[in-house]
Amino acid sequence: MNAKLDSGVTTRPVTRQTFDEVLVPTYAPAAMVPVRAAGLDVWDQEGKRYLDFTSGIAVSSLGHCNPVLVDALTKQVNTLWHLGNGYTNEPVLRLGLALTEATFADRAFFCNSGAEANEAALKLARKYAHTKFGPHKSRIVSCLSSFHGRTLFTVSVGGQPKYTEGFEPLPQELSHIPYNDIEAARAAITDDVAAVIVEPIQGEGGVIPGNPDYLKALREICDQTGAVLVFDEVQSGVGRTGSFFAYQQMNVTPDILTSAKALGNGYPIGAMLTTDEIGQHFNVGSHGTTYGGNPLAATVGLNVVETINQPAFLARVKEASAKIFANLEKLAGDYPEVFGKARGMGLLIGLPMAEAYKGRSKDYTKTCEKLGLMLLIAGPDVVRLAPALIVSDEQIAEADRLMREAVEAFIAA
């Protein structure tokens, strides 16, 4: 170990090329390699600055290297890193209290990612249904175009067949229905359904808000059939849509809610929240993970919740959202051949490409990146904006200017 450090292995030069040489090619990262960041600013190896309107992927909601989080994490790093699950710790107990006080939930289970939170939710729903109704009640219903993570179970539940190709045999008793279609839901959610899992707003699937009537209907059908309603708020949660969780402004309460991404602002953490009645079915030994509820992650999560779940903070998210929507409306009005009507909630915003530029969202965001603006896509036809929730009016104006500059370059190319 020391010999390795002494040989300069931690400081030797690396480039984007190194990715292609030593990492499994599951991603195709940008040409530039970020090395440093603060707030919404990111700097690459060449020292070039970018305005970050991605927050990772709706993760760093309080900005990069947020001083409050750096401070809390640094203190915790010098106090206690890790214990096995044979011991609990103060930060995770405080985070459990904070999340149950802030939501419908009575109980929390902590893990390390969104996929794991959904894996826990689906396993718990099956265990609950099997115990309460019998093993015939095992089917899981989810939506086409949905995204729930990349474990074999969650990716199979997700509604994007391209992500399961080649990984067969897949888990059984899964059904996929079109999103926002009440009749399809009624037909699919029969007595053998253990759980219905849905994103209140589909993120990866194109930034498509759930219709409140649809979510309400899912609630009713689940109540009638005894199915557990799971809201995947991994992307929509923790202030992103202008309420602490999206369900809180849609007036539909799930039985299980999953969170991750912004909960750790970049420090890995996932959470599954549920009621006493359902949660007790995860009894001792039935589920677990080594790192879940680790003091470092829990400390960050606690400070994130404390900061974001405040009326003034959430009101500003809505205000910033309105400003960006107004800018995008003008942009699409000026370039109707390039962009359609923006959609989304809060600071999770999708800008669809118009007919003539279908399939070109990535080309557009690459043009923006060259000019110093980082944006996401949500599929080949949608540009996705997910800036940190602390985005300022100046940064909103800068992004608008860069998006306009980019569209000129994009059309000319």
Ligand X SMILES: *Cc1c(COP(=O)(O)O)cnc(C)c1O
Q: Which of 147, 364 has the CB closer to ligand X?
A: 147
CB 142, min distance to ligand X, A: 11
Could you say whether residue 137 binds ligand X (CB under 6 A)? Answer: no
Q: Which of 257, 260 has the CB closer to ligand X?
A: 260
Please indicate if the annotation marks 233 as binding a ligand.
yes
- 3-class SS letters over the chain: CHHHHHCCCCCCCCCHHHHHHHCCCCCCCCCCCEEEEEECEEEECCCCEEEECCHHHHCCCCCECCHHHHHHHHHHHCCCCCCCCCCCCHHHHHHHHHHHHHCCCCEEEEECCHHHHHHHHHHHHHHHHHHHHCCCCCEEEEECCCCCCCCHHHHHHCCCHHHCCCCCCCCCCEEEECCCCHHHHHHHCCCCEEEEEECCEECCCCCEECCHHHHHHHHHHHHHHCCEEEEECCCCCCCCCCCCCCHHHHCCCCCEEEECHHHHCCCCCEEEEECHHHHCCCCCCCCCCCCCCCHHHHHHHHHHHHHHCCHHHHHHHHHHHHHHHHHHHHHHHHCCCCECCCEEECCEEEEEECHHHCCCHHHHHHHHHHHCEECEECCCCEEEECCCCCCCHHHHHHHHHHHHHHHHHHHHC
Q: Which of 149, 206 has the CB closer to ligand X?
A: 149
Please indicate if the annotation marks 381 as binding a ligand.
no
Could you say whether residue 245 binds ligand X (CB under 6 A)? Answer: no
Query: Which positions from 346 to 385 touch ligand X by CB under 6 A, shown as an x/- string?
Result: ----------------------------------------
Residues 148-167 touching ligand X, rule: CB under 6 A, are 148-149
Residues 256-275 touching ligand X, rule: CB under 6 A, are 260-261
Please indicate if the annotation marks 173 as binding a ligand.
no
Could you say whether residue 115 binds ligand X (CB under 6 A)? Answer: yes
CB 58, min distance to ligand X, A: 7
CB 270, min distance to ligand X, A: 6
Could you say whether residue 255 binds ligand X (CB under 6 A)? Answer: no
CB 364, min distance to ligand X, A: 21
Residues 95-114 touching ligand X, rule: CB under 6 A, are 113-114
Which range binds ligand X by CB under 6 A, 35-43, 231-239, 366-374, 394-402?
Answer: 231-239
Starting from the edge strand earliest in sequence, which strands make up the sheet with 348-352, in order? 343-345, 348-352, 382-385, 376-377
Please indicate if the annotation marks 226 as binding a ligand.
no
Tokens at 266, concatenated: 């970049």
> What is the number of the residue whose Cβ is closest to ligand X?
114
Could you say whether residue 147 binds ligand X (CB under 6 A)? Answer: yes
Pick from 109, 145, 200, 232: which binds ligand X (CB under 6 A)? 232
Please indicate if the annotation marks 234 as binding a ligand.
yes
Please indicate if the annotation marks 395 as binding a ligand.
no
Please indicate if the annotation marks 56 as binding a ligand.
no
CB 122, min distance to ligand X, A: 12
Residues that bind ligand X (CB under 6 A): 113-115, 118, 147-149, 199, 203-204, 232, 234-235, 260-261
Q: Annotated binding residues for pyridoxal 5'-phosphate, as ranges?
A: 114-115, 147, 232-235, 290
Please give the annotated binding residues for N(2)-acetyl-L-ornithine, written as ranges. Answer: 150, 289
